[in-house]
Chain A
Amino acid sequence: MIKEYFKRNKAEYISVVILLAVTLLIMVLFYKMWDFNITVPITYEGGDETGTLINAKMFTEQTWVLSTDRLGAPYTAEYYDFTANVMHNFDMVTLKIFAMITGNAAVAFNLEFFSIFIFVALISYFVMRELKITNWIAICGSVTFAFSPFIIMRSTKHMVLSTCYFIPLSILLCIWLYERDDIFNFNRDFFKNKRNWFAILFIILIANNGIAYYQFFTCFLLLTTAISKIIKTRRFKYLAKSIAAIVGIIICMVINLIPVILYMSENGKNSEAVIRGGFIESEIYGLKLIQLLLPVDSHNVGWLGKTIDYYNNSTLFFNENITSYIGIMGICGFFLLLGIIFAKKKTELFNRLTILSEMNFMMLLLAAGSGIGTIFSLIVSDMIRGYNRISIFIAYVGILAFCLGLNALYRKYNKKWIFAVTVIFTLLCIWEQMPGGYVPDYDIVKAEYDCDDLFIKNIENSVSKNAMIYQLPYHKYPEEGSVNDMNDYHLFAGYLHSDTLKWSYGAMKGREADNWQENASNLPIEELVDYLKDSEFQGICIDRRAYTTDEIAELEDKLTQKLYTKPQYSNNNNLSFFAFK
């Protein structure tokens, strides 16, 4: 029975194996993984990637990540105010699994990152196969999508967005609603249709990925699908189907938010936790059509560099939107979809391209400079601001359109040269869209990581178990920005490299724990030391990068005089520690 099943689906299994092997190979080649040490995080800069690293660390020692008594000392850090934390549970679950299996935060972090490529390729492949795209074309399209500049450039820094594996499911859901009358028919046979089951699963997955952005964009596409269908058929039941899917997503998100809602009902709202600058941010972080077409910086083709530099050096609002490039295959699909706007044919292929084309231009209208997104921000809510993040949806829609077109061409002519040309073209596209300069210097990362590790381990050995360590400078969490050479989350190093110590950094801003830190930080050094001693802290750890040379010298002199002890320094001199006698 099983044997027969495998025999019947042999081609599929072989395809999946090829897909995974190719993905792995490209990953190994691009990231030069022969130089890579799995026990050192692929990036370690104290930036946004630290959030994921901290999550991994928490997962190795406790159940979940919404609170910890080892941060925000002498209080407990509670992260319920940061809504985004509960809006990407799927990648939290995978991270938890990796953390449980490996027991090492860095390893789990690395596995989490590299698994993204595998997940993205695999899910995209299944979606394409569901859409009846020939295996090898689905492989080409999926691998191209898996190595989108969006994923590579956001990398570990925006891990919650790099994990864009469910975007193909969002698109598939829309296509199902558009094409299939048997989907979401709320009658007695509802649960007999396996696609309804899948649709529910997709909704759960989508609602748990992409920190509200991917969910929001999916809902927008579901509405677009409904509008398209209603206009074409004049039947409003399609609106009910889309709304059902949207409600499903919202319910899942609300369920995710239950801990936040409960916490806030007990502790009140925290208006300081996440501050938005109004609708203007939707313009600053809006999508620019040109950036979909403009290759990334540090481009593999030298002569294109000048054009890219010309644009990048003179454009306004140059920020994370630089990750919007959709690659040559995406661009081909993008223009095909623009062309479809003008076409009026009625064939199966054309119908499918039509819905993709409609999604494509609606996404542009939503996100492009001061479009529907800005109107939404001005009138409804400015919490969604990074509209450029829709570029990865546009990339998938573009690649899918290209694959559908190619698939039709291949089925019509069935020539081997099409296969050969496409494979070469795919490799060219992947090579072209891979941005240079995004592969870390592993030696530097390792040196930094090991240095911090050694230093923190020494502290841990020099104080009692579960001791509290006060950290300087006082730095609010989250999203407070860099201070001199100290990045936003460098202060998490203590927690990351220790197992029992409690660290003062990490209290949620706007809450009592943070107020305590702020008050303490306002005391003169002499009083601060006494106060910390009274509070049972056992030492002060300083991130020296946050200070100018004069400032750090003055601070350390004062502490030396007060404590009658010289500090210990980390080997790279970034950190120092004063133990209380």
Chain B
Amino acid sequence: MKTHFIKYKNEYISVGILMMTTLVLQILLLQLWKMSIAVPLEYSGSEGMSSLLNAKMFISQNWNLSCDRLGAPYSTQYYDLTSSMLHNFDLITLKIFSMLTGDAAVALNIQYLSTYFLIALISYLVMRELKITNWIAICGSLLFTFMSYIFMRGILHMALTTYYFIPLSILLCFWIYERDDILVFNRQFFKNKRNLLSIFFVILIANNGIAYYPFFTCYLLIITAISKVIKTKNFKIFIKSAVVIAGIVLCMMVNLIPRFIYQFQNGPNSAIIIRDGVSGCEELALKLIQLFLPVDGHRIPIIGAVIDEYNNNSFYVNENMTSYLGIIGICGFLVLIFALFIKKESILNGRLSFLSEMNIAMVFLGTVGGFSAVFAVLVSNNIRAYNRISIFMAYVCILTVAFMVDAFYRKHKKKYIVIIGSIITIFCIWEQFPTNRIPEYETNYYNYYSDKNFVAEIEGSVDKGAMIFQMPYHEDPEGGQVYEMTDYPLYTGYIHSNTLKWSYGSIKGREGSDWIQYACSKSIEETVSHIKDAGFAGIYIDRRAYEPDKLKKLENKLTDVLESTPIYSENENLSFFKLKEVHK
């Protein structure tokens, strides 16, 4: 053991430095001294609520595919939501954090903040496996960890923010491309530790990135096979790539077994997610310009003006604005474009050449009307947000610069290279950080406790396990914003209570959702009568969903019908009417 530590002393020190630097940068960039660990970093009611919901479920029950405290008077089943089963790795880590802390907000915060460390660590290990010098691997990994992508998607797109296995996807391609001993199916197969690692990688990749990251990995594996076959005319590489792809697909199928069983028993649900032709895939495609265009909220005003000019005038500026590669990424991208012109053979050229092939293939796949559109037309339009490939490109580009700096450093071995490299890294991280993505700690704190206290008040005023009817009726998932109410704030009730059952959360297209929609379609008097009969104990209103006049009318009417006045949350976003017959 001691010998092991002595032997790998440098490695452990490097990892220590990497983790420390990650922590320091995280604290400085996210201004974590302002943060309260018990308040989620993101609490705007949009997609981030799903992660908070998952954390809450993991505290109250085993897993998150069904819940009898949502979709009341029914229970809710999330088996129709395929993506729920395609990011199991981060769900497992969330489960662990939830079990350890017993608090959804704390678990979510730890989950999010730990993502940085995992990304940095895995990226570092991959770079070291590719024989990149420690300090360069640290710099490269830090750059990759602190991409604009992670800050801009944040907790909102947690299933994508957890991009820690992308370096493994690239490493897998490298192994297949460079190593003849990998995935050779003979008696020695399990003696090669890289084969075992490959199997492990396949399992991890298949359980991360809600189908997008596995899909992009499969695409890169095909590119690897094409590249190798064209160069060697040896078709067995195809088999290797095909086996890995089959492995990924198989794992995903295994993940989807609960869904298959559920849909076999209950029939398919065509209403769940609707995709419209190829427009979605073009709208959410990768735009080459956005790889180069720094993020909004840029620190340098003159660049900010160009960004604003683009963002304010271009069509379809959406989540694709997270595509920025950063300065080092851009350098890598340009090198890779130039590398396409190089036809010389050398180890460095060989690696750059392979990376450049992956890079251009990703551009052709992701670009507006690119191979993505061909895939959407001929195969499936369920994969549509091809801009998400930008984070794969970022890693490929950063890896390119790391290879080049490494070659330069090995040749000259000067200390100034380390110093300049470190300064540039810090500068680039500073440059690529979107300043307007620092969490709004005070606002979150205020709203979180306003909601928490409000729901606690409701829970204290009704029976244990009582059912609360929520208004307005809102589809789950992807119901969209209604007036000032974002998509998922109706989960607030569930997140802050421990025994109450809430009407929101029924999957659209299923019986539970239809029941609530029907109840809400009636007049107020009828709705009240209907939900009383069903055993509901009160009505919870998200007031942001209504225009002032309509809200006033609704609350006045309820006051008249129920002969009681509502209670309001401190921030006045929520109100609650207790149904009179129910007494504690």
Binding site for B on A (CB under 8 A): 227-228, 231-232, 278-280, 283-284, 286-291, 293-294, 307, 310-311, 313-317, 338-339, 341-344, 346, 354, 358, 361, 364-365, 368-372, 374-375, 378-379
Residue from B226, B313, B341, B368 in contact with A278 in the complex, judged by beta carbons closer than 8 Å: B313
Given contacts A289-B371, A342-B357, contact A316 B279 (CB under 8 A): yes
Indicate if the CB atoms of A293 and B226 lie closer than 8 Å. Answer: no
Given contacts A279-B310, A280-B313, contact A370 B340 (CB under 8 A): no
Indicate if the CB atoms of B288 and A365 lie closer than 8 Å. Answer: yes
Indicate if the CB atoms of B226 and A342 lie closer than 8 Å. Answer: yes
Contact with A along B246-287 (1 / 0, CB 8 A): 000000000000000000000000000000111100110101
Q: Which chain B residues numbered 359 to 402 have a C-beta less than 8 Å away from chain A?
A: 360, 363-364, 367-371, 373-374, 377-378
CB of B534 within 8 A of chain A? no
**Can you list 18 A-B contacts (CB < 8 A)?**
A280-B314, A289-B367, A290-B374, A294-B377, A310-B277, A314-B277, A315-B279, A316-B283, A316-B315, A342-B357, A361-B360, A365-B363, A368-B288, A368-B363, A369-B282, A370-B290, A371-B367, A375-B289
Which residues of the other chain, B, contact A232 by a CB distance below 8 angstroms? 341-343
Indicate if the CB atoms of A358 and B341 lie closer than 8 Å. Answer: yes
Which residues of the other chain, A, contact B378 by a CB distance below 8 angstroms? 307
Residue from B287, B292, B345, B369 in contact with A291 in the complex, judged by beta carbons closer than 8 Å: B369
Which residues of the other chain, B, contact A361 by a CB distance below 8 angstroms? 340, 360
In the bound assembly, the distance between CA atoms of A284 and B313 in angstroms comes to 12
CB of B180 within 8 A of chain A? no
Residue among A284, A291, A339, A342 with the most chain B CB within 10 A?
Answer: A342
In the bound assembly, the distance between CA atoms of A206 and B364 in angstroms comes to 29
Residue from A283, A307, A314, A375 in contact with B276 in the complex, judged by beta carbons closer than 8 Å: A314
Say how far B148's CB is from chain A's closest CB, in angstroms: 17
CB of B227 within 8 A of chain A? yes
Which residues of the other chain, A, contact B283 by a CB distance below 8 angstroms? 316
In the bound assembly, the distance between CA atoms of A374 and B278 in angstroms comes to 22
Indicate if the CB atoms of B306 and A368 lie closer than 8 Å. Answer: no
CB of B29 within 8 A of chain A? no
Indicate if the CB atoms of A342 and B230 lie closer than 8 Å. Answer: yes
CB of B8 within 8 A of chain A? no
In the bound assembly, the distance between CA atoms of A339 and B227 in angstroms comes to 8
Indicate if the CB atoms of A288 and B377 lie closer than 8 Å. Answer: no
Indicate if the CB atoms of A280 and B315 lie closer than 8 Å. Answer: yes
Say how far A102's CB is from chain B's closest CB, in angstroms: 43
CB of B179 within 8 A of chain A? no
CB of B309 within 8 A of chain A? yes
Say how far B432's CB is from chain A's closest CB, in angstroms: 18
In the bound assembly, the distance between CA atoms of A159 and B100 in angstroms comes to 72
Query: In this complex, what residue of B is CB-closest to A228?
Result: B341
Indicate if the CB atoms of B370 and A368 lie closer than 8 Å. Answer: yes
Indicate if the CB atoms of A339 and B226 lie closer than 8 Å. Answer: yes
CB of B338 within 8 A of chain A? yes
Which residues of the other chain, A, contact B360 by a CB distance below 8 angstroms? 341, 361
Which residues of the other chain, A, contact B287 by a CB distance below 8 angstroms? 283, 369-370, 374
Besides A227-B338, A289-B367, A372-B288, 11 other CB < 8 A contacts? A232-B342, A289-B371, A311-B278, A313-B277, A315-B279, A342-B226, A344-B231, A361-B360, A364-B364, A368-B370, A369-B282
List 3 tightest A-B contacts by C-beta distance, closest first: A314-B277, A369-B368, A288-B369
In the bound assembly, the distance between CA atoms of A365 and B338 in angstroms comes to 12
Say how far A202's CB is from chain B's closest CB, in angstroms: 24
Which residues of the other chain, A, contact B340 by a CB distance below 8 angstroms? 341, 358, 361
In the bound assembly, the distance between CA atoms of A554 and B360 in angstroms comes to 62
CB of B337 within 8 A of chain A? yes
Binding site for A on B (CB under 8 A): 226-227, 230-231, 276-279, 282-283, 285, 287-290, 292, 306, 309-310, 313-316, 337-338, 340-343, 345, 353, 357, 360, 363-364, 367-371, 373-374, 377-378
Which residues of the other chain, B, contact A291 by a CB distance below 8 angstroms? 369
Residue from B313, B341, B371 in contact with A231 in the complex, judged by beta carbons closer than 8 Å: B341
In the bound assembly, the distance between CA atoms of A461 and B25 in angstroms comes to 86
In the bound assembly, the distance between CA atoms of A149 and B316 in angstroms comes to 29
Residue from B278, B353, B357 in contact with A315 in the complex, judged by beta carbons closer than 8 Å: B278
Given contacts A311-B373, A343-B231, A372-B288, contact A227 B341 (CB under 8 A): yes
Say how far B219's CB is from chain A's closest CB, in angstroms: 14
Which residues of the other chain, B, contact A354 by a CB distance below 8 angstroms? 343
Indicate if the CB atoms of A370 and B288 lie closer than 8 Å. Answer: yes
Say how far B276's CB is from chain A's closest CB, in angstroms: 6
In the bound assembly, the distance between CA atoms of A279 and B317 in angstroms comes to 14
Which residues of the other chain, B, contact A311 by a CB distance below 8 angstroms? 277-278, 373, 377
Say how far B240's CB is from chain A's closest CB, in angstroms: 16
Query: In this complex, what residue of B is CB-closest to A379?
Result: B306
Residue among A228, A344, A365 with the most chain B CB within 10 A?
Answer: A344
Say how far A478's CB is from chain B's closest CB, in angstroms: 25
Given contacts A232-B343, A354-B343, contact A290 B313 (CB under 8 A): no
In the bound assembly, the distance between CA atoms of A342 and B353 in angstroms comes to 8
In the bound assembly, the distance between CA atoms of A361 and B370 in angstroms comes to 13
In the bound assembly, the distance between CA atoms of A577 and B370 in angstroms comes to 53
Say how far A288's CB is from chain B's closest CB, in angstroms: 3
Indicate if the CB atoms of B363 and A370 lie closer than 8 Å. Answer: no
Given contacts A227-B341, A311-B278, A365-B363, contact A378 B373 (CB under 8 A): no
Which residues of the other chain, A, contact B309 by a CB distance below 8 angstroms? 378
Indicate if the CB atoms of B289 and A289 lie closer than 8 Å. Answer: no
Which residues of the other chain, A, contact B231 by a CB distance below 8 angstroms? 342-344
Query: In this complex, what residue of A is CB-closest to B353?
Result: A344
Which residues of the other chain, B, contact A310 by a CB distance below 8 angstroms? 277-278, 377
Which residues of the other chain, A, contact B289 by a CB distance below 8 angstroms? 370-371, 374-375, 378
Which residues of the other chain, A, contact B277 by a CB distance below 8 angstroms? 310-311, 313-315
Say how far A438's CB is from chain B's closest CB, in angstroms: 23
Which residues of the other chain, A, contact B368 by a CB distance below 8 angstroms? 283, 286, 288, 368-370
Which residues of the other chain, A, contact B276 by a CB distance below 8 angstroms? 314
Say how far A239's CB is from chain B's closest CB, in angstroms: 13
Query: In this complex, what residue of A is CB-closest to B338?
Result: A231
In the bound assembly, the distance between CA atoms of A369 and B285 in angstroms comes to 9
In the bound assembly, the distance between CA atoms of A66 and B231 in angstroms comes to 57
Residue from B230, B341, B364, B377 in contact with A307 in the complex, judged by beta carbons closer than 8 Å: B377
Indicate if the CB atoms of A371 and B288 lie closer than 8 Å. Answer: yes
In the bound assembly, the distance between CA atoms of A307 and B367 in angstroms comes to 20
In the bound assembly, the distance between CA atoms of A317 and B287 in angstroms comes to 14
Given contacts A283-B314, A314-B277, contact A368 B367 (CB under 8 A): yes
Residue among B227, B357, B367, B378 with the most chain A CB within 10 A?
Answer: B367
